[in-house]
Structure 1
């Protein structure tokens, strides 16, 4: 699959589930104690329960390091036990700077007998958040694999793992999915991410694509600027599988309003509209998102990405 704009041709129920999980990952970040999961603010989707969270070390050019909650784990309340790892997206100025990084680095899996080709490169800001701890706190990568290994040997063992995230979370969740494919190849995973920036070069995309039992789908608003970063001129590329939507602000700023075009809540509203429309698409010039917000949604051309 390359790109699609009809949600009926995809698993609409799973896309709706995972955008909700991505939003709840944002809710897990406490404003007062950023390293602690705000459990009371997280509402698990129907049929799921919140069971864990993890943190990551954010930094500006390797300085001013801070530990923040970066994701949550949901598990079904009945067998077969499905787990959702949902990564938080961009929240702070530091995250925004990391989103716009351009320096390529080698991808180093947690542990693997499969060699990663030397030419595979990923963006340094995402890679640093994923792999670097701060001495007293384990890296995100280490925490995630500790959770995975705990669940593998639990009384409610992993049946399948869904991995998701919005914005920066979309980039981080792709690194984790590839890492799982290499380091725990027996685990069945599926990745659906939203508004993700480009994560690596073409060699990264090709190497990821070779892990055929780990499907990936990008959900992209064609008016969203973040999926256009880092730029292709610097060698960065996207996975080709994409579900395209198209929405923007209805006020005078229109398509220039980057916040509206990138909002996870707005992604969710358009996905829900497309799923319930009967046509598989969302065409609504005054789509109500919140009491004080409407957006304009149209049907994207398949070559709009």
Structure 2
């Protein structure tokens, strides 16, 4: 009998010897994983012990998220939910590349664009209201799976609308969201140092590569590959290129798998972290 085997990471020394990522970077990846998990929960009145400012939902597209405020860390956090309902399945499957609206060369996933546009107005209005009162706060946009793609679109829009605002994007298991010019635009607008695209585990989450490059898609940076267990900063690699061949792309895609469900030690679908972090 033939038994299935997971792909193995090529034995490249710099995976082990890279030294991992800084402590603060790793702690931030863990923190915003928890926000991306919290948004799946039907009732989460105090995400990570912080103020829930507003929730937004579109019943037609299934897009859902919230805006929270952390007054201790001076952060306004926008979190988008990933695929969970039947509507989300149709959104995921609509993989045509359509114009983003800036110009014809910048194109994005049609389903993700439709879902984002369905909640864009209320999300931006809420963020703008918060920024008006808390103008020295940073804005963090986060999400898991499809929510990561919506977070990418939202982070781009927020930074474009208010260029002097500090905006960071943290995504986990984000599928490819647009084409090369879109990837370039996100990086140029938000800054690669402000983008943290987490990808999980030794057998990589297959969702980030489930939409193939052959259709014209390209990931933006910056990938943070959690390439081995257990979860700790030394097992996370910061990748330098949009589709760095030395990182998770070095392993064939395994499609939707269990690695998609767990990021930095947290199950993404079943918890509402409502207490402050230590």
Whether contact under 8 Å (2:179, 2:216) holds in the other structure is: yes
- What TM-score do the two structures reach when normalised by structure 1? 0.66
Displacement of 1:44 in angstroms is 1.9
CA apart distance, 1:174: 0.3
User: Who is 1:135 aligned against?
Assistant: none
- The 2-side partners of 1:169 and 1:141 are apart by 13
Runs of 4 or more, structure 1, over 3 Å off, are 7-10, 255-259
Render the CA deviation track for 1:257-280: whole Å, top value 9, x for unaligned. Answer: 9442211xx213179xxxxxxxxx
Cα distance 1:125–1:52, how it changes in 2: closer, same or farther (>3 A)?
same
Choose the corresponding residue for 2:130, options 151, 164, 170.
151
* Alpha-carbon distance change, 259 to 14 in structure 1, aligned in 2, over 3 angstroms: same
Q: Conserved in 2, the CA contact under 8 Å of 1:58 and 1:94?
A: yes
1:14 pairs with 2:28: yes
Q: How does 1:231-246 map to 2 (within 5 A)?
A: 231-246=212-227
Q: Is the 8 A contact 1:223 1:247 kept in 2?
A: no
Secondary structure of the structure 2 residue equivalent to 1:170: helix
- The structure richer in strand per residue is 1
Kindly provide the CA deviation profile for residues 136-168 of structure 1, in whole angstroms up to 9, marking residues without a partner as x: xxx3110111102211222x4451001100001
The yes-or-no answer on 1:24 pairing with 2:62 is: no
| Pairing partner for 1:216 from 195, 198, 216 | 195
Find 2:260's aligned residue among 259, 262, 271: 262
For the structure 1 residues 23 and 244, does the alpha-carbon distance in structure 2 shift closer, same or farther, using more than 3 Å as the test?
Answer: same
Give the direction of change, closer, same or farther, for the CA distance of 1:247–1:167 in structure 2 (3 Å limit).
farther
Paired residues, what number?
226
Confirm whether residue 201 of structure 1 aligns to residue 174 of structure 2. no
Distance in 1 separating the partners of 2:151 and 2:255: 26
Partner residue, 2:209: 228
Aligned equivalents of 1:203 and 1:219: distance in 2? 21
Which of 171, 176, 194 aligns to 2:154? It is 176
Name structure 1 gaps, 5 residues minimum: 30-37, 60-67, 109-115, 132-138, 249-254, 272-289, 291-305
Q: Determine the C-alpha separation between the residues in 2 that align with 1:197 and 1:82.
A: 26
TM-aligned CA deviation for residue 172 of structure 1: 0.2
Q: Which deviations, in whole Å up to 9, do the C-alpha atoms of 1:178-226 show, x marking residues without a partner?
A: 1112222222100010000000000111112211557211101252121
Q: Distance in 1 between matches of 2:29 and 2:218?
A: 23
* Equivalent in the alignment of 2:109: 123
Matched, 1:72 2:58: no
CA distance in structure 2 between the partners assigned to 1:257 and 1:240 by the alignment: 21
Larger relative contact order (C-alpha < 8 A, sep ≥ 6)? 2
1:84 maps to what in 2?
Answer: 77
Secondary structure of the structure 2 residue equivalent to 1:198: coil
Local SS of the residue matching 2:79:
strand
CA RMSD of aligned residues (A): 2.8
TM-score for both structures, normalised by structure 2: 0.72
Shift of 1:77: 3.1
In the aligned structure 2, how far is the partner of 1:171 from the partner of 1:257? 17
Task: Judge conservation of contact 1:53–1:69 (CA < 8 Å) in 2.
Answer: no
Q: Is the 8 A contact 2:206 2:257 kept in 1?
A: no
